[in-house]
Amino acid sequence: MSARKGWVVAVANQKGGVAKTTTVGSLGAAFAERGLDVLLVDLDPQACLTFSLGVDPEAVEQSIHQVLLGESKAADVLIECEDGVDLLPSTIELAAAEQLLLLRTGREQLLKVALAPLLRSYDVILLDCPPSLGVLTTVALTAANGVLIPLQCETLSHRGVGQLLDTIHDVKRMTNRRLKVIGVLPTLYDSRTSHGRLVLERIGGDYGVAVLEPPIPKSVRFAEAPAAGRTILATARNSKGAAAYREVANSLWQAPR
């Protein structure tokens, strides 16, 4: 894979609060630490990834919204961030894109087409999907080579995986036959609770998907990082959380695609 650019990974789960944005930012920073060229794409109208990387969404003049509507080229919207990654930012404008894109012919392909000129410039492109299974998530899955599913180790989060896998199946059948499920990444994991351990043990068997290791531990360090506009790899680089994301990034990069 090292000789080929542009591995596009959608980080998706329709349930909020499962550390999607944290995973995108932290894995992106971990890949960048390895010397890889990394692009992060914020597809959530809440713009949490944009904010957490030190960019004020209210000060952004052009965003992924304009890119999806064909009003701007992706290359003209890029922002360099301190953690060594480039960002395609989001703003609240993106909330209107769901309705606007419904009227577009070939809407599922819009992000794939927009990213195509950038593929040779990046080793990894991570897509931060919104907490829904709407148009924006479908657009991301159509553009991606693989899907990574962050999963909080609790029952309600666990139950939503089946619905997401159904959506992935539909996308593979209709718009992206090459899409692969990379696996589930357990997040907010507390090894002290028997419930967390039980959910972790059941995931792979219930859904037939790989469970990535190590699980990402629950830590207040993750909540502190966005206030500094950086990822945990910068604000608490020796923490267990930072080490876990580095290990996951290393495993993902070394694994066959």
Each residue's pLDDT tens digit, 122-165:
999 999 999 998 999 999 999 999 999 999 877 656 667 888 99
Task: Summarize pLDDT for 28-42 with one digit per residue, the tens.
Answer: 999 999 999 999 999
C-alpha separations of 109 from 24, 27, 69, 74 in Å? 22, 25, 12, 14
Question: Could you give the CA distance from residue 166 to residue 254 in angstroms, rounded to a whole number?
Answer: 28
What is the distance of C-alpha 172 from the center of its chain? 18
Strands (E) located in the chain: 7-11, 38-42, 79-80, 86-88, 124-128, 146-152, 180-187
Band the pLDDT of 70: cuts 50, 70, 90. very high
Question: Could you give the CA distance from residue 77 to residue 41 in angstroms, rounded to a whole number?
Answer: 11
Task: Summarize pLDDT for 72-119 with one digit per residue, the tens.
Answer: 999 999 999 999 999 999 999 999 988 888 888 889 999 999 999 999
Level-2 CATH architecture, domain 7-254: 3-Layer(aba) Sandwich (3.40)
What is the distance of C-alpha 186 from the center of its chain? 14
Band the pLDDT of 1: cuts 50, 70, 90. very low
Question: Could you give the CA distance from residue 13 to residue 132 in angstroms, rounded to a whole number?
Answer: 7
Phi, psi (degrees; rounded to nearest 5) at 30: -65, -40
Judge contact between 185 and 150, C-beta under 8 A: yes
Question: Could you give the CA distance from residue 140 to residue 112 in angstroms, rounded to a whole number?
Answer: 8
Q: In terms of residues, how long is the chain?
A: 257
Band the pLDDT of 205: cuts 50, 70, 90. confident
